[in-house]
């Protein structure tokens, strides 16, 4: 039986989740919600970049999405710079009896200890009122910093430390709001970007730190933040805009969960806008980007995950991976009891329903537009 689904937002992530929702025969697309007035009234197939006409046209009102009576909504609206609004949207969907999977608000990935308890209580109350559940995930925070490290830890006799890395060149990432407004690329070196204001890193990645800790059966005593930046040696353009000489061009930041003073769980990002910047910082295993999990214990591991795509580079592939994780979770989230659900709650994901046979026969799209 197909699941009636709606897509909310069609940006970098939402456009890719929408592609799968249209083409995946496990789902019936019934609504698309957008915030851009230029997208209102356009067919979902066009918004997804697919050479199909679905008959489902975009609406600007969340009430119209709710009125379409989806069983589940895929919520990919910006949450990093509008966490309150994103949380409110999710609560409205839950109260209407609509399960939610998505990429935002990120704190709902594992909110306990990170999100204020009164907000958690409100989300849980909305979920109970509508008999619905919500699951937020992605890459990192997401499967690269919860599912993968915990799967590896499950084979260890002893774990002393877990480290998760994102190592990527963001020169081709075209999300200007994330790149410039949030991360501070192109900003003066003496200016503190929004992401690095005290407490923001712990808010954004504390979910991953605490979920790994919960999976290991330990409690984090304190989360410590660190960041440093490298200036551009000259002016140059990237996909998101202009990086002027002397402004922020590369970043290294980490979020560390301390247990009895020991750095038990560490998430570290090295983000460059040019490959030659700071060669002394950690580098991806291949191509322009990878996710690395290091476990110190018995046995110890170093595992690199290198995403690639037929339709784009490592940045595109990483977003596809996040979107696949989101959409493929829909059946389990629909079946889950009401409330905030996490990777620790859901069944082990296996990619059920995604197989495409030899020669490309199957359900995944073969005709994509740019």
Give helix 314-328 / helix 14-23 axis angle, nearest 10°: 50
Read off the pLDDT of residues 47-105 as tens digits, 9 standing for 90 and up: 999 999 999 999 999 999 999 999 999 999 998 889 999 999 999 999 999 999 999 99
Tell me, what's the pLDDT at 359? 64
- Percent of the chain predicted with pLDDT > 90: 92
Query: Kindly report the CA angle at 150 between 12 and 117, in degrees rounded to 5?
Result: 70
Q: Which are the contacts of 40, defined by CB distance < 8 A and separation ≥ 6?
A: 34, 58, 59, 60
Average of pLDDT values for 261-280? Answer: 97
Is a pLDDT exceeding 90 seen at residue 305? yes
Is a pLDDT exceeding 60 seen at residue 370? no
Tell me, what's the pLDDT at 260? 97
Average of pLDDT values for 28-44? Answer: 97
Tell me, what's the pLDDT at 79? 85
- pLDDT category, 131, cuts 50, 70, 90? very high
- pLDDT category, 369, cuts 50, 70, 90? low
Please tell me the pTM assigned to this model. Answer: 0.93
Tell me, what's the pLDDT at 367? 52
- pLDDT category, 357, cuts 50, 70, 90? confident
Sign of CA dihedral 224, 178, 9, 88: positive
Q: Mean pLDDT of all residues in the chain?
A: 95
What is the residue whose two structure tokens read 């200890």? 113
Read off the pLDDT of residues 279-297 as tens digits, 9 standing for 90 and up: 999 999 988 999 999 999 9
Q: Set out the domains of the chain in order of their start, with CATH numbers.
A: 3-137+329-360 (3.40.50.720), 143-310 (3.30.360)
Is a pLDDT exceeding 50 seen at residue 366? no
- Tell me the three state secondary structure of residue 149: helix
- Tell me the three state secondary structure of residue 231: strand
Tell me, what's the pLDDT at 81? 83
What is the CB neighbour count within 10 angstroms for residue 198?
A: 8
Give helix 117-130 / helix 83-95 axis angle, nearest 10°: 30
Burial-class residue 112 by CB neighbours within 10 Å (0-12, 13-18, 19+).
middle
No. of helices (H) and no. of strands (E), the chain: 10, 15
Read off the pLDDT of residues 156-200 as tens digits, 9 standing for 90 and up: 999 999 999 999 999 999 989 999 999 999 999 999 999 999 999
Tell me, what's the pLDDT at 360? 57
Pick the closest to residue 127 from 138, 115, 117, 135 (CA basis): 135
Classify residue 183 as left (phi > 0), alpha (psi -120 to 50) or beta: alpha
């Amino acid at each position: 039986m197909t699941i009636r689904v709606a897509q909310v937002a069609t940006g970098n992530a939402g456009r890719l989740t929408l592609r799968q929702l249209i083409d995946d025969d496990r789902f019936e697309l019934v609504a698309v919600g957008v915030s851009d007035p230029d997208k209102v009234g356009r067919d979902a197939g066009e918004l997804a970049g697919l050479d199909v006409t679905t008959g489902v046209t975009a609406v600007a009102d969340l009430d119209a999405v709710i009125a379409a009576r989806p069983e589940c909504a895929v919520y990919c609206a910006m949450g990093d710079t509008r966490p309150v609004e994103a949380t409110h949207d999710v609560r409205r969907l839950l109260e209407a009896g609509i399960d939610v999977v998505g990429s935002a608000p990120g704190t709902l990935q594992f909110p306990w200890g990170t999100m204020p308890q009164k907000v958690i209580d409100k989300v849980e109350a909305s979920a109970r009122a509508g008999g619905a559940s919500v699951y937020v995930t992605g890459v990192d925070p997401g499967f690269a910093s919860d599912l993968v490290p915990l799967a590896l830890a499950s084979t260890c006799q002893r774990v002393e430390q877990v480290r998760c890395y994102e190592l990527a060149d963001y020169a081709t990432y075209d999300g200007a709001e994330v790149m410039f407004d949030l991360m501070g690329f192109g900003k003066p070196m003496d200016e503190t970007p929004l992401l690095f204001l005290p407490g923001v890193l712990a808010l954004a990645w504390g979910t991953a730190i605490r979920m790994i800790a919960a999976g290991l059966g330990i409690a984090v005593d304190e989360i410590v933040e660190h960041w440093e930046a490298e200036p551009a040696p000259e002016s140059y353009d990237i996909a998101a805009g202009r990086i002027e000489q002397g402004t922020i061009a590369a970043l290294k930041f980490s979020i560390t969960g301390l247990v009895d003073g020991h750095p038990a769980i560490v998430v570290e990002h090295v983000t460059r806008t040019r490959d030659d910047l700071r060669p002394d910082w950690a580098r991806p295993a291949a191509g322009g980007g990878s996710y690395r999990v290091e476990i110190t214990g018995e046995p110890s591991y170093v595992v690199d995950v290198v995403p690639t795509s037929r339709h784009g580079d490592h940045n595109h592939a990483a977003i596809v991976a996040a979107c696949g994780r989101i959409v493929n979770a829909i059946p389990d989230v629909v079946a889950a009891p009401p409330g905030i659900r996490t990777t620790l709650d859901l069944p082990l994901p296996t990619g059920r329903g995604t197989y495409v046979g030899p020669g490309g026969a199957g359900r995944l799209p073969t005709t994509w537009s740019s």
